[in-house]
Homo-oligomer: A and B are copies of this chain.
Amino acid sequence: MGKIDLKKLGLKVTLPRLKVLAILERNQREHLSAEDIYKALLESGEDVGLATVYRVLTQFEQADILNRHHFAEGHSVFELNQGEHHDHILCVKCGEVDEFTDEVIEARQDAIAKEMGFEITHHSLYLYGICSACQKK
C-alpha cells in the first residue's frame, strides 16, 4: 500500500487530482459516486468542477488505481483499488454494501471462460438480498 505517485502514472500533479485522491483515501471502506466526491470537495471549500471529478475518476480507473462499479442504482460508484480483488453483496432494503471473496467462484469463472474460448479480462458479481438487520424489521 505505497503512496500513489501520479507522475509515474503519466498524470500531472494537479490540485483536483490530489483532492479527489485524498477523499478516496479518507473513505477506503465506502463506495462513492462522482456526485458524492464533488459534494465532499465543496464542503471542504475546494473549487473543483463536477466535469473534472468525472474526468479524474475515469483517468484513475484507466490507471488502475480505482474500480468502478455499477450497482443497481443508475450511477457509477468508485473505490480505491485495494490490491486484492473482492465482490459485493448488497441489501435491497437499506442499501448496505458488504464485500467478500470466494476462491471457488473465482476459479469456476476462469474455467468457464476458458471452456467458452474467452480470454477473461475482468468480471462483475453482485449479490442482492435482505441483510440480517432488515430481516428483523
The interface of chain A, by Cβ under 8 A from chain B, is 70, 72, 89, 91-92, 98, 100, 102, 104-105, 108-109, 112-113, 116-132, 135
Provide the bound-state CA to CA distance between A116 and B87, in Å. Answer: 13
On whether the beta carbons of A126 and B123 are closer than 8 Å, the reply is yes
On whether the beta carbons of B128 and A112 are closer than 8 Å, the reply is no
Provide the bound-state CA to CA distance between A118 and B96, in Å. Answer: 11
- Most chain B beta carbons < 10 A, residue from A100, A102, A112: A112
Provide the bound-state CA to CA distance between A120 and B132, in Å. Answer: 11
Residues of B within 8 A of A89 (CB): 112-113, 116, 118
A123 to chain B, nearest CB (A): 5
